Each structure stands twice: as structure tokens, then as C-alpha cells.
Structure 1
Amino acid sequence: MSRRWSLSTFVAVLLVSSAASGRAAPPAGASAFEQGASDQEATDRAATGWGVFGIGSCYINNRSTNDLRRWVPQMAAIDLRVHRTPYTNWGAVEPERGVWNWDVLNDEIQYLEERGFEFGALLVGNPKWNEADPPGHLPVNNLEGWSNYVTQLATHLKGKVRRYEVWNEPPNFTGKDQTPADYAEIVVAAYHAAKAVDPDCQVGLAAKSAHINYLEQTVLAGAKDHFDYIVLHPYEILDGVAENTGSEAVYLNVVPSVRKMLAARNPAKADVPILFTELGVDAERTGEDVQAHALVKAYVMGIAQGVECIQWFEGRDGDSGPMGLLDRNGVARPAYTALGTLIERLGQRPAPIGWTLLNDRHHAFLLQGAEGPALVVWGDPGSPDRIDFQSDVRVVDPRTGHVTVQTSLSLGEAPVIVLDPPAALVARAAANCDRPVPWGGNDAGTPEDYAEADRISIEFGETTTEKGLHTRSGAHVAESVVAYGGSARSGRVPGGNVFVVDPNFLSYESASIEITAVVRRTPSKENAGFKLVYESPGGFKTAGGWYTIPKEDRWHTKTWRIDDPQFVNYWGYNFILESDGNAYNNYFIRSVTVRRLDRPAR
């Protein structure tokens, strides 16, 4: 359940924090790891359950204790305490039918426990001996064998593991023709088998990315009431944040969208915990500093929306590219220090208090940290801005852990932690605790307007006007890609034909809509066209068919009616004008509008 504090609750906590016995503030300039554990962290250690800060690993860094030795000690050094899973693959523990081998798993568990880690177990795999259904398929051909695997594993791990995540990123790593109904079968079988061993354990329903559509289909296909938590891996949504497109509102809407789906399809499970058991950013593609920025934003906005645990992928580079906190040689990236700084400054279980926008532009999230209220802030896309706090605050750079005392700061895309925030700013943030964070605008801004609006739009030019509709390229790119004297955007701009709807306008719920695009061919008059592909309950779907833009040298208006949208951003966007490569991208876009047909025109 999303944790929200009322203003009165927050004030009470603040008073208690202020009255705590005279622990001096850390000295300015102190390193993130030069100070001892706080009183809050000591309390956290005695508490049961997972904190928000976790870590995971790829296959080659997680098969044995020797693999773990390459990176786990460095994770323990920054006080990480939750590991996604030791190696529990079905084929690894039952390499031959009826032959069980626990030695490798036992060694891993002992190694992790000695270093203070808790962990779940990933129920996954189809052993080679199950020849009727090849490896890589959901083992629906042998539910008896699958159930026995879960029974044996749960029996072996009873008292050590309480959470069992069913499969990794379905429909990934399943058979090409396997359906949500197939996944529902193995979920139900796992649920009954695990609960028979340990009624208090929890079974997790999973999906790739933020594929809430797939979760819904699985629930409807038979998994209803057979799970205790939800697992997602919203990499693509985080990429939009990492690329500084201003799409924080999309990331912040993951948990609310899941809860809408559960309330509609499985109300008894509407408040189950939601975990991100993988989430990360490619350090080579984005740059190491950007990876660190994205990590801070991912955890802070995860806490703000009520994600129970985020298990960063991954500890050290392995078989999945340069995603690690440590590179392939074990050298720490800035993201490693950033995560350690967050744990130190916020504690294992920081609680969300509220949010605000500094200078009516920049995201600022107020959390109950290890030493009291902490404000984590970063700049929106565009030029840096000056923030005046009008009193001394301690500013922590997560990438280094370095602390400075400032009365103002120049704020860019790099997030910072502000300790001792002014009381007026604290009160303003706390007052917003139950309000959605706007995409643009200010504290009193536009989410409610878009929640009731009949239409949203984007118009391209030298400056782009975004009224509830956005692209993955970000408005700040518009100046370099305008055409026809500033009246349009080229269809060739990366991300410029990929559209994201403000979640307050339409997210998960069904409503008939019209999408209208105003386009024309480029002066070369080469063949140009596209198809509109959108999110639906069954995944991405084409509206109508291919649209060829007429040759006439003028603007053309094309409208599509869509009766089954289901916008959840599982790839980080809602619809796209798809041209099948550059051969047909020879066009300009002047504007795109989305209209809800269930609302009267305004």
C-alpha cells in the first residue's frame, strides 16, 4: 500500500525528530561513508521486512558463491541488505528427474546471510530432462513436476525466504505461442504448492517492463487471488527520465496504474505490495553520471509512489551490458556512491511526506530521512536555474557524498539531497502529499485540469506547446528540428513521433478517443506515410492501416478513432507514428491532438 503521511502526522514526527537527543549534524564536507550508522538505521536493522534499497544480478554473477564474491562485499559495504534471489532455477536444483542438488544454493545462502542480506527466490526454469516442453517455455506440460519443484524449494527455504517471484519478466522467456493463460497456470500451481509448505509466504505475480496489460490478462485468465505482491521492471519508463525528457509523471504513475487495474479486476488484491525487482540504466549509452542521476531519481520517485523495494540491476557488469554499479573490472561507478549516499542519508525505510516544484519548475520530493526531513531535488529540462533557500541548508551530492552548506544553489539535471530544508518549504511539500505531481506547471498546476479535460495536444514550432501530450524527444529538442519557418517537426527526429499522454488525462481506464495528426510531405515529395500503433488491452495494436500522406503541397489532417486504448506506458510511451524505417519518414508534423469522446467539448 502506498505510504502517505498527512501534514499533522508529519508535524508530529518532525517534533519528535527535533527533540531527539543532541546528535550533532555531520560536519560540512564529510564523505558519505565516513560516518557511523544513525539511530534510525539501528532501528531499521531490528525491524522485520525489506527496506526499499535492494540489488540484483545477471546470470553469470549469480550462479555460485564464487560469482557472488566478485561483487557482494562491495554491496554490503554501502549497507545494501536485500538481494533479489540466489540461484534457484528448477534445472539447477533438480538437474535430473527426482535428483535434488542443494549444495550450490546452500553455499550461496550461507554467504549472503553472513553478509547481512535477506533475499527472495525466483521460481523459474524448465529443465532439460522435461523434453516434452523445451527449455525457455513455461512448463505447462508438466504442472505436477513444476508444483513438486516449488514444494521442494519452499520446504528447503522455509524460514529463510518469504517471497517467491513466479518467472522472470513474462511474457519474456516463454514460448512464442504461450499466453497469459499459460502463465496463470504456473502461477496458480506455484501459489498452492508454496502456501501448502508455508502459509505465511508470499507469491509474486510478474510482468516485463511495466506491462500492466499482461498482468490484467493473467488475472483474468485464472490468477485472480493467487498472488500476494506484484513485480515489474520499468526500464523503458526510467529511460525517459534518464534522458531528461521531463517524463517524471509517467514513472510516478506506475503504481497508481497497477492499483487501478487491481481495483477493477481483483479488488481483494488492490493494496498488495509492488516491487521493482529489476531496474537500471546502461552506463555506456547514457554516460556514468547520467546513470547515477537516474538511480537517485528512480529510488526517490519509487518511494514517493509507494514502491516497497527497488532491486537495482545490477551489482556488477555481467552478461547484460554495462548496467552495474561496478564495471566489469570491479571499479565503482558514480551510481555506486550515489546509492550508498541515499542509504546513509535516507535510512533503509524512508517515508514519503510530499512534493513541490521549486521556482514552479523543478521536482522536489520530501522524505523522512535518517536525520529528519530530506528534500531531493533536480532541474527540469532546459537551462540551469538558481534556487534560493533564504537560509543555510546542507546540500549533499549523491555521486560523491560530499556535503556543503549553502543558502542557494544552481540546479540542473543532477539531483541533490537538501538537509535541513526551510520550514515553509517543508509545509508546502507536505500539503501536496495526496496530489498528483504535474507534468509541467506549478504546485497549483494542471493535473486536475487534464483529469477533467476533453482533449490534450502538442503543437510543434520554434517552441513546442505541450498541453498534456508529449514526445519522447522532449520539448527542449524542438529548436533544432523545426521546419517550414518554425511550424512543424520532422518525422525523422528520434523520439519525435513517439507520444506520451499525461497520465492524469488517460491511464489504464477505458475510454473511446480520437487521435488527429496534421502532417505534410517534405519538399522532396518522396513517398511518406506511417501507421498509428497504440497500447491496447492486448498489447500494441495498429489503428486502421497504413496512411500514405498525399502529394499535394499543403497540410493534411488524419484522424483515427480508437475504442480500446489502454495507456499504461509499458514501453514508456502510448502511441507512435511508425514508418517502418527511414524510407517513409519524409514528412513534417505540425500538431497532434487526443480527444476523449466520453467528455463534452469545452
Structure 2
Amino acid sequence: MEIKISKIFTFLIILLIAGFLINRFFYPPISIELPAPKEIPFVSVFYRDHMIVGKIGPIAFSVTMPDRKSIEKDIKIIKEAGFEGIKLEFVYGSAFNFLNKLTSWIAKKAASENLYVLGLLSGHQSKPKGRAFNEAELVQWENFVAKTVREHKSTIYFWEVWNEPNDDTGYFRYGSPKEYLELLKRTYQVIKRENPQAKVVIAMGSGYPESFDYLNELLSLGGGEYFDILGFHPIAARPYFIQEPIIKDSIKRMKEIQGKYQNRWPLWITEIGQPSFGEISEKEQAELAKMLLEKAKENQIPVVWFHFSDKVSADGFGGWGLVRKNNEPKPILEVFKSFKKE
């Protein structure tokens, strides 16, 4: 009798473990077609809850590994808060294949809620430090871009090529403006071949006057032929990542560049955020976000908030999110809910 009870107990434990693993690792296929957008989504949020990355040997995986129901709940919160878009990162390198599959599922889930995705094609995690890609690596990058864009032809219509290639710290920096032009040109051609309706976005750090030197050189070399939307990140220094003078100066400088080239590209703030951390309260975070949205509305420049949840830290800071670690709303979420772009 004891043996029989033990077997039943063991079987139940196995079922529980199996259920947990299925919930964590099985994401049912989603078939969805989202019509091409008529405009840039005005308010979006960067979703990174699965982007705490660990490695086992050569394989990268999500340490947090949010379960399917949690992701679905997050997407609902984002949609109900009035966001029109969501930003997701696809990472170059074979080590990140599993992580990209999860990101792909999230993209399709977001599309099923009529959220337009800005797909960031990043590669700083795999690029050798101190130099741009060589020819063989560029070909591998092109293959990565082609596969990713092709898979999302009916769900993702905005693609950002590298994150802050002009980063002076060296962490994100791709190379010289001339070297980035080669990457941008080849990426643009691949994206347009795989999805002619897609828009190519570049995004420069723009928190300081010297940040614009890279962009100006890129454009003088003819880089403007290889993107459709001019993105920028007017992020200041810690602890106040959002500063009104920096926001105003960045917008002014970007509009001057835009005018110099006959207003051929719309502007988009594709990343900006402010953590409630240390001396900065959740209330102050919300006030800074409100000021940002007012400036965005005044200048008709769409915004991507960095990022959704306090679960994931960045730059040594927690508290970037619209919701706390337990998904309770922070005051900033109400700011976005009450925002009207018209």
C-alpha cells in the first residue's frame, strides 16, 4: 500500500513539474497578420522582462523566463494603458537563437493586440570590441537580418539598425560613421528586399552636443539614403536621465538637421526613460514622464519609454518601469493612461 501511494505521489510531482515546464517553455504558435501602419505609433514601451540573459556554454537564455500567462498579462496592461506600440530587441549571434524565439513569440502576441512593434536589431553583444564587422561577419549579420525580417513580414514594420552606434563609451558603438554606413546600407537593402513595406530606423544617442558629430558625418557620407526614420535618444547623465534642457536642445538640433535635408525623415525618440531609484521617487519619475510627453506632443515626435517593468534593471539602476516587480502600477502608468496625443 505504501509503495502504491509513493508511486501516485511521484506521478503527481512529475505532472506538476511537467506543467510548470510547459507553461514556462511552451509558447503555442500564433498566426497573425497586422496591416501596415499609416503612421508611427505615438507612444510605445520597450518590453525587456525576458532580457536578463545568462549563458550555459555557448547558449544564451532568459534568466527570468517569464511564463506565457505573465507575458500575456503584461501585453494586456500595455494595450489597456493606451500604448500604440512596443519595442523588442532581436540579438545577433547563434548563442541568442533561443532568446530570439521567445522575443518572436512576444512580437506576435503584441501584434494580436494591435500593438505595432519596433524591432531593434542589435549586435553589440556578439561584435568583437574595438572594431566593426569584417566581411564574413557582415554576411552573417545580413543572414540574421533576412531571417528575422522574413519571419515577421506581416507583424513588424519598423526596424531599428543597431542601438546608439555613436555611443562614446564604446559599449554600443559600432565603429566610425563610414563603417556604420556600410552596415546600414547592407541592412537597409536586406530589410527592403524581405519586406518592402518596412521602415528602417536609425537611433543616435543625443544627450550631449558632441553626440551629433557622428550623425552629421554619417549624413554627409550619404547615409540618409538608407533609412526612413531618424531616431534619437535624448538621455542625460545619472541620476536624472530625463532633463528638460537636454530634451529641448536635442529636439532643436534634430529639427535643424531634419530641415537641412528637406525634412525627408520623420523624427522618433526610440528610447528614453527615468528610473525611480535612490533620491528619485516614483512621484518624481511620473512628473518627468509627464514633462517628456508634453514636449513630444508639442513637437509631434513619437516616444518609446524605457521600459515596462521594474523586474529588469539597467545601467546599475532599478525602477525604470511603469509597474513594480509584482506588476502593481506606479504613478507613471497613470500619466501614460491619461495622455492624449491630440
Q: What TM-score, normalized to structure 2? A: 0.71
Q: CA deviation at 1:56?
A: 0.8
Q: Say whether 1:76 aligns with 2:79.
A: yes
What percentage of aligned pairs have identical amino acids?
17
Distance 1:50 1:205, change over 3 A: closer
Q: Say whether 1:165 aligns with 2:160.
A: yes
Distance 1:341 1:120, change over 3 A: same
8 Å Cα contact 2:42-2:84 kept in structure 1: no
8 Å Cα contact 1:229-1:274 kept in structure 2: yes
1:200 to 183, 197, 201: 197
| Aligned residue in 1 for 2:138 | 143
| Aligned residue in 1 for 2:17 | none
Q: Which has the larger radius of gyration?
A: 1
Question: What whole-Å deviation, never above 9, does each CA across 1:2-21 have from its counterpart, x for those lacking one?
Answer: xxxxxxxxxxxxxxxxxxxx
Equivalent runs, 1:431-580 vs 2, <5 Å: none
8 Å Cα contact 1:209-1:233 kept in structure 2: yes
- CA distance in structure 1 between the partners assigned to 2:112 and 2:198 by the alignment: 23
1:180 to 163, 167, 177: 177
Q: CA deviation at 1:162?
A: 1.3
For residue 236 of structure 2, give the secondary structure of its aligned residue in structure 1.
helix
* Deviation larger for 287-296 or 107-116: 107-116
Question: What whole-Å deviation, never above 9, does each CA across 1:7-61 have from its counterpart, x for those lacking one?
Answer: xxxxxxxxxxxxxxxxxxxxxxxxxxxxxxxxxxxxxx99843332111134645
Q: CA deviation at 1:69?
A: 4.7
Q: CA deviation at 1:221?
A: 4.0
| Aligned residue in 2 for 1:276 | 269
Instruction: Report the RMSD for the aligned CA atoms in angstroms.
Output: 3.4
For residue 219 of structure 2, give the secondary structure of its aligned residue in structure 1.
helix
For residue 156 of structure 2, give the secondary structure of its aligned residue in structure 1.
coil
Question: What whole-Å deviation, never above 9, does each CA across 1:561-592 have from its counterpart, x for those lacking one?
Answer: xxxxxxxxxxxxxxxxxxxxxxxxxxxxxxxx
8 Å Cα contact 1:279-1:311 kept in structure 2: yes
Question: What whole-Å deviation, never above 9, does each CA across 1:500-554 have from its counterpart, x for those lacking one?
Answer: xxxxxxxxxxxxxxxxxxxxxxxxxxxxxxxxxxxxxxxxxxxxxxxxxxxxxxx
Q: What TM-score, normalized to structure 1? A: 0.42
Q: Partner amino acid for 2:290?
A: V
Q: CA deviation at 1:113?
A: 2.4
Determine which structure has the larger strand proportion and give its number.
Answer: 1
For residue 230 of structure 2, give the secondary structure of its aligned residue in structure 1.
strand
Q: CA deviation at 1:181?
A: 2.0
- CA distance in structure 2 between the partners assigned to 1:122 and 1:109 by the alignment: 12
Q: Partner amino acid for 2:267?
A: I
Q: Relative CO higher for 1 or 2, CA cutoff 8 Å, sep ≥ 6? A: 2
For residue 224 of structure 1, give the secondary structure of its aligned residue in structure 2.
helix
- CA distance in structure 1 between the partners assigned to 2:142 and 2:82 by the alignment: 36
| Aligned residue in 2 for 1:223 | 223
1:124 to 122, 125, 131: 122
- CA distance in structure 2 between the partners assigned to 1:177 and 1:158 by the alignment: 26
Distance 1:238 1:260, change over 3 A: farther
Q: CA deviation at 1:65?
A: 6.2
Q: Tell me, which stretches of 5 or more residues in structure 1 are unaligned?
A: 1-44, 351-602
What is the number of equivalent residue pairs in this alignment?
A: 284
For residue 199 of structure 1, give the secondary structure of its aligned residue in structure 2.
coil
For residue 201 of structure 2, give the secondary structure of its aligned residue in structure 1.
strand
- CA distance in structure 2 between the partners assigned to 1:252 and 1:150 by the alignment: 34
Q: CA deviation at 1:315?
A: 0.9
For residue 312 of structure 1, give the secondary structure of its aligned residue in structure 2.
strand
For residue 160 of structure 2, give the secondary structure of its aligned residue in structure 1.
strand
8 Å Cα contact 1:238-1:298 kept in structure 2: no
Question: What whole-Å deviation, never above 9, does each CA across 1:431-456 have from its counterpart, x for those lacking one?
Answer: xxxxxxxxxxxxxxxxxxxxxxxxxx
Distance 1:226 1:59, change over 3 A: farther
Q: Tell me, which stretches of 5 or more residues in structure 2 are unaligned?
A: 1-34, 53-61
Distance 1:328 1:101, change over 3 A: closer
* Deviation larger for 58-67 or 327-336: 58-67
For residue 123 of structure 1, give the secondary structure of its aligned residue in structure 2.
strand
For residue 293 of structure 1, give the secondary structure of its aligned residue in structure 2.
helix
8 Å Cα contact 2:124-2:173 kept in structure 1: no
